[in-house]
């Protein structure tokens, strides 16, 4: 699974990042690198079958504590 | 950024499909039981003043999108902070809709397929649509909307022999309170989410069209939702609130003779089209917001990464379908309240004040 993820991300890097680098759009390049690395980490974690904490539950706690239910 | 233009008809189609989006899948007003149709009407009526505010904001700033408006109204820093909140909201909403569709397919259609595959296939279509621009989303929804309505109409006609009109009685047996609650959740769940559409409505052609677009979309979608809710109640009775996907279950009861049966797949077509449009618009809003906040030249360059991120997020967001249902009915209305009502009203008041000031300055300069 991890190999699949890596292959997909390499192809995204070739298709997306290199044109941005060549056009010297540094802001786009930076934002894309950050987002790409983050999503790569999450994809790798999903492919390992790790449990990733979801923000839905803290929001639920917060709202139930605010409303006092 | 290059200028994109969408016609009023396309914008109305986007609004209608956006509102129908996940509402048709999950149904609304489940807590009002067989008064859910009154809850839907109440939601429609509650949303009229909110929609007046939204369309007024768009008409004060013609040709500006949501994030530019926030920047103009609140200044650079606070504007950026609120823009970040809205990016999060659009992203989260897109992930929720994607998850609704994924749970629907995984529960009823393809139980053996991993949900990730379903989410990925839906998400990639949306990524491509957003990468091609809002014009493409507009044209696609204008093309699909006759099919959607024809489909709904045919299913209604076929369902006619099965309708039991006495299921709607007793009306208001549990009092008015659950109806008002259902109306509030109907307001927040499909109707007021259209604030996100403001990020796409910078592409509208004329200044006046925002009122037309918002209200035609609201009434088209609202009346469709009311009719669908009524049909579900006529077919399922009080138990309508117990199903995860009431429309699908209701339609699966249809049987004409021995040969027109199991036509619920026809309804899944409507779900798929509406969910695709809704997720595309949310993804578009998130990408455009990121583009504005970080000062990018074109929002399209971040689409693939944000789209993939949205797919993973929708995959991890809930543990089970029960969580999803609880969240959608109990938590979501309160969670979305600031995004849908409080901040828009503040933006509107600030925009009116700002407009008056600029008119005064212009008058004194003359």
Q: How does pLDDT run along chain B (366 residues), one tens digit per residue? A: 457 788 889 999 999 999 998 888 888 877 777 888 899 999 999 999 999 999 899 888 888 888 989 998 888 899 999 999 999 999 999 999 999 999 999 988 888 999 999 999 999 999 999 999 889 999 999 999 999 999 999 999 998 888 888 888 888 888 888 899 888 888 888 889 989 988 888 878 777 778 888 999 999 999 999 999 999 889 888 787 788 888 888 888 888 888 888 888 888 889 999 999 999 999 999 999 999 999 888 888 889 999 999 999 999 998 888 888 888 888 888 999 999 999 999 999 999 998 888 888 888 877
- What's the confidence (pLDDT) of residue B118? 92
Return the bridge partners of B261, or none. B255
Judge contact between B289 and B67, C-beta under 8 A: yes
Cβ-contact B247, B232 below 8 angstroms: yes
Q: Does A66 have pLDDT greater than 90?
A: no
Question: Which residue of B87, B93, B301 is the best one to mutate when testing the A interface, meaning the one whose CB has the most A CBs within 10 A?
Answer: B301
Predicted local confidence at residue B24, as pLDDT:
85
Q: Do A39 and B308 touch (CB under 8 A)?
A: yes
Q: Which residue has the higher pLDDT, B157 or A24?
A: B157
Pick the closest to residue B229 from B34, B11, B46 (CA basis): B34
Three-class HEC string of chain B = CCCCCECHHHHHHHHHHHHHCCHHHHCCCHHHHHHHHHHHHHHHHHHHHHHHHHHHHHHHCCCCCHHHHHHHHHCHHHHHHHHHHHHHHHHHHHHHHHHHHHHHHHHHHCCCCCHHHHHHHHHHHHHHHHHHCHHHHHHHHHHHHHHHHHHHHHHHHHHHHHCCHHHHCCCCCCCCHHHHHHHHHHHHCCHHHHHHHHHCHHHECCCCHHHHHHHHHHHHHHHHHHHHHHHHHHHHHHHHHHCCCHHHHHHHCCEECCCEECCHHHHHHHHHHHHHHHHHHHHHHHHHHHHHHCCCCCHHHHHHHHHHHHHHHHHHCCCCHHHHHHHHHHHHHHHHHHHHHHHHHHHHHHHHHHHHHHHHHHHHHC
B167, B338, B158: which is closest to B241 by C-alpha?
Answer: B167
pLDDT at A68 over 80: no
Per-residue pLDDT, A69? 62
Write down the pLDDT at residue B288: 92
Interface test mutation site (partner B, options A9, A12, A28, A40, max chain B beta carbons within 10 A): A28
Rounded CA gap, B131 and B128, in Å? 5
Distance CA B223, CA B19 (A): 11
Taking alpha carbons only, the member of B163, B164, B149, B162 closest to residue B266 is B149
B64: closest CA of chain A, how far (Å): 22
Considering the entire predicted model, what is its pTM?
0.93
Q: Average pLDDT in the A45-51 region?
A: 87
d(CA B60, CA B208): 10
ipTM for the assembly: 0.92
Instruction: Out of 1.10.4160.10, 3.30.465.10, 3.30.360.10, 1.10.600.10, select the CATH number for domain B8-365.
Output: 1.10.4160.10
Surface of B (157-176) touching A: CB under 8 A: none
Q: Are B334 and A52 inside 8 Å of each other by CB? A: no
Tokens encoding B39: 């809850």
- The contacts of residue B137 (CB under 8 Å, 6+ apart) are B14, B129, B130, B200, B277, B280, B281, B284
- Record: contact B312-A54, CB cut-off 8 A: no
What per-residue confidence (pLDDT) applies to B2? Answer: 55
Question: What is the chain B residue with the closest CA to A19?
Answer: B301
> Please, which residues bridge with residue B216 across strands?
none
Give chain A's contact residues with B (Cβ, < 8 Å): 12, 16, 20, 25, 27-28, 31-32, 35-36, 38-39, 42-43, 46, 52, 54-56, 59-60, 63-64, 66-67
């Amino acid at each position: 699974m991890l190999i699949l993820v890596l292959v997909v991300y390499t192809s995204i890097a070739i298709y997306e990042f290199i044109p941005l680098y060549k056009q010297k759009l540094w802001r786009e390049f930076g934002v894309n690198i950050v987002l790409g690395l983050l999503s790569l980490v999450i994809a790798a974690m999903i492919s390992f079958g790790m449990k990733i904490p979801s923000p839905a539950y803290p929001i639920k706690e917060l709202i139930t504590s605010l409303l006092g239910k | 950024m290059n200028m994109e233009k969408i016609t009023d008809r396309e914008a109305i189609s986007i609004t209608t499909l956006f509102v129908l989006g996940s509402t048709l899948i999950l149904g609304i007003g489940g807590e009002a039981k067989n008064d859910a149709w009154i809850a839907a009407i109440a939601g429609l009526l509650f949303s009229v003043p909110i929609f007046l505010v939204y369309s007024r904001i768009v008409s004060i700033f013609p040709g500006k999108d949501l994030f530019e408006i926030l920047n103009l109204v609140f200044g650079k820093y606070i504007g950026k902070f609120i823009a970040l909140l809205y990016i999060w909201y659009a992203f989260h909403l897109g992930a929720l809709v994607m998850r609704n569709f994924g749970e629907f397919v995984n529960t009823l259609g393809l139980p053996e397929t991993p949900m990730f595959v379903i989410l990925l296939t839906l998400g990639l279509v949306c990524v491509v649509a957003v990468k091609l621009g809002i014009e493409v989303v507009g044209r696609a929804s204008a093309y699909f909307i006759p099919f959607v309505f024809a489909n709904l109409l045919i299913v209604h006609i076929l369902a006619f022999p099965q309708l039991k009109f006495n299921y709607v009685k007793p009306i208001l047996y549990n009092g008015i309170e659950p109806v008002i609650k259902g109306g509030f959740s109907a307001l927040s769940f499909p109707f007021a989410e259209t604030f996100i559409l403001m990020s796409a409505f910078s592409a509208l052609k004329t200044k006046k069209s925002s009122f037309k677009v918002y209200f035609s979309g609201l009434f088209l979608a609202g009346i469709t939702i009311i009719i669908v809710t009524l049909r579900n109640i006529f077919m399922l009775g009080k138990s309508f609130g117990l199903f995860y996907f009431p429309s699908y279950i209701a339609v699966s009861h249809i049987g004409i003779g021995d040969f027109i049966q199991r036509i619920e797949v026809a309804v899944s077509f409507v779900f798929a089209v509406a969910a695709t449009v809704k997720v595309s618009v949310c993804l578009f809003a998130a990408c455009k917001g990121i583009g504005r906040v970080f000062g990018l030249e074109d929002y399209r360059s971040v689409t693939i990464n944000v789209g993939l991120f949205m797919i993973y997020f929708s995959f991890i967001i809930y543990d089970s379908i029960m969580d999803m249902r609880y969240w959608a009915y109990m938590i979501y209305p309160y969670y979305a309240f600031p995004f849908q009502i409080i901040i828009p009203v503040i933006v509107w008041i600030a925009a009116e004040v700002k407009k008056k000031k600029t008119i005064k300055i212009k008058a004194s300069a003359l």
